[in-house]
Chain A
Amino acid sequence: MTVTHAADTVDTVERAAATPEIEQPYGALGLKDNEYRRVRELLGRRPTDAELAMYAVMWSEHCSYKSSKVHLRYFGETTTEQMRATMLAGIGENAGVLDIGDGWAVTFKAESHNHPSYVEPFQGAATGVGGIVRDILAMGARPLAVMDSLRFGAADAPDTKRVLPGVVAGVGGYGNCLGLPNIGGEVIFDASYAGNPLVNALCVGAMRIEDLHLAHASGAGNKIILFGARTGLDGIGGASVLASDSFSGGTGRKKLPSVQVGDPFAEKVLIECCLELFAAKVVVGISDLGAAGLACATSELASAGDGGMVIDLDRVPLRAKDMNPAEILSSESRERMCAVVTPEHVADFLAICAKWDVTATEIGEVTEGDTLVITWHGQTVVDVPPRTVAHDGPVYERPISRPESQDALQADVPDDLARPTTPAEIRATLLRMLGSANLASRRWVTQQYDRYVRGGTVLAQPADAGMIRIDEQTHRGVALSVDCNSRYVALDPYRGAQLALAEAYRNVAASGAKPVAVTDCLNFGSPEDPGVMWQFQQALHGLADACKVLGIPVVGGNVSFYNQTGGTAILPTPLVGVMGVIDDVRRRVPTGFGTEPGESLLLLGETRPEFGGSEWAHVVHGHLGGLPPKVDLAAEALLADILIAGSRDGMLSAAHDLSDGGLAQAVVEAALIGETGARIVLPAGADPFVWLFAESAGRALVAVPRSEEPRFTEMCTMRGLPWVKIGVVDVESDAVEIQDVADFSLAELRTAWEATLPELFG
């Protein structure tokens, strides 16, 4: 072996023990004084450069959940045995897994890739998609579809013109190249996201139950194999500054990039390769390499098993020259996986990788001991108990305090805002809102995504929920929706998070699927701000409590803190994804009108004059204040039951949930999607403004074939669900008429709805 200059000065465990006094750049790596002291205590000496890099990245907020851990336990505390019944894996695994029946296990998870998407929108969003897909893959499932929830600054802000097209192209570029359909999501604008867009990507995959793989490294002598892309200087230290100059063995590189470039074709091959490895039963466990790269994969695999591990960094295939151990361990190069393989299967494993032209290298093995030992150039550079890196990081009980401004915010009710009263004013308001950035058609975005590749897509945008067929024979499928109205959360985090859940739950039920599980992506400002921690704690409790009432477990999720521009945090955004199961996707309920020749329109649920945090207050008055709509989870559950029963028994020909923009938006969308006119007759004495624009939760608009109307309405009445007939669908008509208020031609509505995004970004 050639002894290089770097090897001469490598910071070995031996050297670390002998030179306790050397100053280490822990601050620049993001470790606090007390955290660094803790590392020294755990090791009984100072850490080596490589160990320091591992601890720093694994103890970061992103990897260790150090500010959220004490709160996340609440999800476990509120999950009952009954809720666990169909749960095959939950929080703590790469992704939650559900038994959906017919022998199928479905896994889904959402993850944020916010900061990288601001720095480099295309690659940031693309690698976000790639990362969540590998999480699903690591469970042994074939990734089947993706969704994405995107939030940007004001639609007309100059920087949004830079960020949005890049993010959308990145999501589409990566997903389309992988051959995964994008079946839905959100695009939302609010000034608070201007310097900190949110890119939350969700992936869903399926496998036979017996093929479920949980990542662990049991069994001394088992080999650790790194496979996929070579390791380069990508995203080292993530957003933190890992200046290699400050290491004793530094190579003189001035600045390391935090931008990772994705290679979707490499990932596609990796997917097929992994699935063949699973099918051939040659792996004990597989873990993906994402944030914190090898540092994370080795320490997590080792601590999940019952032994120790040795790793030889010289065997890691490198893309850049002269990488030091700290860089190799913390590199975030994409499209890499790490497997634990029994010795007798190594040859088969390598043969399968060779067939797919995937580089695979044995880099170490599981040992009898209880430490993770990493060598480089024949010297030991890491010797740590793996649990101390992966699990025993610092845990903080951050101060929590309800912001003083919260009372004023809630007292600033929207009751005195000028409302449209005349028919002409209501007409103008409806058109203005329809074309507003948050309510306008997402077609410009979604047409850049492949929604039907693989042939399993049953519903995709603009439907309420995305739906895919899982079983070709039985037609069993799943539906997914991701939602969050962050203005509601800002007004009341507890209730706002429940409203996010209620909306996603309702969307899934509107498609005909029964909601069974939840994933979340909790995006907040700095946890060091007591007001933000209050929002976080409230939102988390609201979500967990509501899940318990609805009886559906949170099976996985992600926390993203420090989403802020300067000192100003984003609106609290606890994104909620709900998955539902439908026995037969052929019974799905579409969103658009007009699948049957004569349909009656019913509004289910109760309409109240609720405008706090509404789209109307936002668009027309730029107002945010008051309280969000009331939450009635029993009513949500009943509504969902009725929607599912209506779908199963063929009583519904269309269903559309009511949320942002209220009834007016729902009617117009369903008419435009179905390309069918409708006549709306509001109840006698109703205030048209309230009925058209209020955002009361727990409501849905359904189209019922005339022959089914008595049966359906009788079911609603018997079960105590408020309903009112508000009109009819007219397949002959090409207009939406709201009696005594206003008429609109479909062409006029379509122009207002579809022109906005192309004008802004086309």
Chain B
Amino acid sequence: MPKPEILDPQGQAVAKALPRLGFSGVAEVRQGKRFELEVDDSVDDATLARIAEGLLANPVIEEWTVRRVAE
């Protein structure tokens, strides 16, 4: 996700479009992206964090979380 204080033009565009399409009551929209990685059990959380920080996210303007789910 873009950091909360960073401008999110895409989210704003969606927020502006909603009332035009008849959806009311949505105060704010923020958008980000999600990566799904299929990993071996041997890949630990620290490695996943390094992957997220080093490749998948741009830590200058984005924040990230890693969520591990069982198959």
Verify if A581 is at the interface (C-beta below 8 Å from B).
no
* Residues in chain A near residue B3, CB distance under 8 A: 257
Q: How far is the CB of B63 from chain A (nearest CB, A)?
A: 11
Q: Do B9 and A266 touch across chains, with their CB atoms under 8 A apart? A: yes
Cα–Cα distance between A424 and B2 once the two chains are bound (Å): 56
Q: Which residues in window 269-319 of A have CB below 8 A to B?
A: 319
Per DSSP, are chain A's interface residues mostly helix, strand or loop, or mixed?
Answer: loop
> How many Cβ-Cβ contacts under 8 Å join chain A to chain B?
40
Q: Do B5 and A233 touch across chains, with their CB atoms under 8 A apart? A: yes
Cα–Cα distance between A257 and B63 once the two chains are bound (Å): 12
* Residues in chain A near residue B61, CB distance under 8 A: 120, 123, 257, 259, 261
Q: Do A261 and B9 touch across chains, with their CB atoms under 8 A apart? A: yes
Q: Do B60 and A120 touch across chains, with their CB atoms under 8 A apart? A: yes
Verify if B21 is at the interface (C-beta below 8 Å from A).
no
Q: Do A119 and B60 touch across chains, with their CB atoms under 8 A apart? A: yes
Q: Which residues in window 28-63 of B have CB below 8 A to A?
A: 58, 60-61
Cα–Cα distance between A229 and B9 once the two chains are bound (Å): 10
* Residues in chain A near residue B18, CB distance under 8 A: none
* Residues in chain B near residue A263, CB distance under 8 A: 7, 9, 12
Verify if A232 is at the interface (C-beta below 8 Å from B).
yes
Q: Do A260 and B16 touch across chains, with their CB atoms under 8 A apart? A: no
Q: Do A257 and B5 touch across chains, with their CB atoms under 8 A apart? A: yes
Verify if B26 is at the interface (C-beta below 8 Å from A).
no
Chain A residue nearest to B10 (CB atoms) is A263
Cα–Cα distance between A320 and B30 once the two chains are bound (Å): 13
Given A119-B60, A120-B61, are A234 and B9 also a contact pair (CB < 8 Å)?
A: no
Cα–Cα distance between A608 and B9 once the two chains are bound (Å): 55
Q: How many residues of B contact A (CB 8 A)?
A: 14
* Residues in chain B near residue A261, CB distance under 8 A: 2, 6-9, 61
Most chain B beta-carbon contacts within 10 A, residue among A229, A257, A334: A257
Q: How far is the CB of B20 from chain A (nearest CB, A)?
A: 10
Cα–Cα distance between A333 and B5 once the two chains are bound (Å): 11
Chain B residue nearest to A236 (CB atoms) is B5
* Residues in chain A near residue B5, CB distance under 8 A: 232-234, 256-257, 320
Verify if A357 is at the interface (C-beta below 8 Å from B).
yes
Q: How far is the CB of B59 from chain A (nearest CB, A)?
A: 10
Verify if A74 is at the interface (C-beta below 8 Å from B).
no
* Residues in chain B near residue A257, CB distance under 8 A: 3, 5-6, 61
Verify if A265 is at the interface (C-beta below 8 Å from B).
yes
Cα–Cα distance between A357 and B9 once the two chains are bound (Å): 15
Q: How far is the CB of B11 from chain A (nearest CB, A)?
A: 11
Chain A residue nearest to B2 (CB atoms) is A261
Q: How far is the CB of B47 from chain A (nearest CB, A)?
A: 22
Q: Do A234 and B58 touch across chains, with their CB atoms under 8 A apart? A: no
Q: Which residues in window 212-263 of A have CB below 8 A to B?
A: 229, 232-234, 256-257, 259-263
Most chain A beta-carbon contacts within 10 A, residue among B4, B58, B60: B60
Residue of B7, B9, B16, B58 near A120 (CB, 8 A) is: B58
* Residues in chain A near residue B13, CB distance under 8 A: 265
Most chain A beta-carbon contacts within 10 A, residue among B5, B16, B58: B5
Q: How far is the CB of B38 from chain A (nearest CB, A)?
A: 28
Cα–Cα distance between A7 and B16 once the two chains are bound (Å): 31
* Residues in chain A near residue B60, CB distance under 8 A: 119-120, 259
Q: How far is the CB of A358 from chain B (nearest CB, A)?
A: 12
Q: Which residues in window 106-128 of A have CB below 8 A to B?
A: 119-120, 123
Q: Do B58 and A260 touch across chains, with their CB atoms under 8 A apart? A: no
Give per-residue flags for A347-363: 1 if the beta carbon is below 8 A from chain B beta carbons, else 0. Answer: 00000000001000000
* Residues in chain A near residue B7, CB distance under 8 A: 229, 232, 234, 260-263, 319, 333-334
Chain A residue nearest to B61 (CB atoms) is A259
* Residues in chain B near residue A333, CB distance under 8 A: 7
* Residues in chain B near residue A229, CB distance under 8 A: 7
Q: Do A259 and B9 touch across chains, with their CB atoms under 8 A apart? A: no
Q: How far is the CB of B8 from chain A (nearest CB, A)?
A: 8
Cα–Cα distance between A261 and B3 once the two chains are bound (Å): 11
Q: Do A265 and B9 touch across chains, with their CB atoms under 8 A apart? A: yes
Chain B residue nearest to A229 (CB atoms) is B7
* Residues in chain A near residue B4, CB distance under 8 A: 320
* Residues in chain B near residue A357, CB distance under 8 A: 16
Chain A residue nearest to B6 (CB atoms) is A261
Most chain A beta-carbon contacts within 10 A, residue among B4, B7, B12, B61: B7
* Residues in chain B near residue A265, CB distance under 8 A: 9, 13
Chain B residue nearest to A166 (CB atoms) is B58
Cα–Cα distance between A263 and B8 once the two chains are bound (Å): 8
Closest 3 CB pairs of A and B: A263-B9, A233-B5, A261-B7
Question: What is B's interface to A at a CB cutoff of 8 Å?
Answer: 2-9, 12-13, 16, 58, 60-61
Q: What are 25 A-B contacts defined by CB distance under 8 Å? A: A119-B60, A120-B58, A120-B60, A120-B61, A123-B61, A232-B5, A233-B5, A234-B6, A256-B5, A257-B3, A257-B5, A257-B6, A259-B6, A259-B60, A259-B61, A260-B7, A261-B7, A261-B8, A261-B61, A263-B9, A263-B12, A265-B13, A266-B9, A319-B7, A357-B16
Can you name 17 extra interface pairs (CB under 8 A) apart from A259-B61, A261-B7, A265-B9? Answer: A119-B60, A123-B61, A229-B7, A233-B5, A234-B6, A234-B7, A256-B5, A257-B3, A257-B6, A257-B61, A259-B6, A261-B2, A261-B8, A261-B9, A261-B61, A263-B12, A357-B16
Question: What is A's interface to B at a CB cutoff of 8 Å?
Answer: 119-120, 123, 229, 232-234, 256-257, 259-263, 265-266, 319-320, 333-334, 357
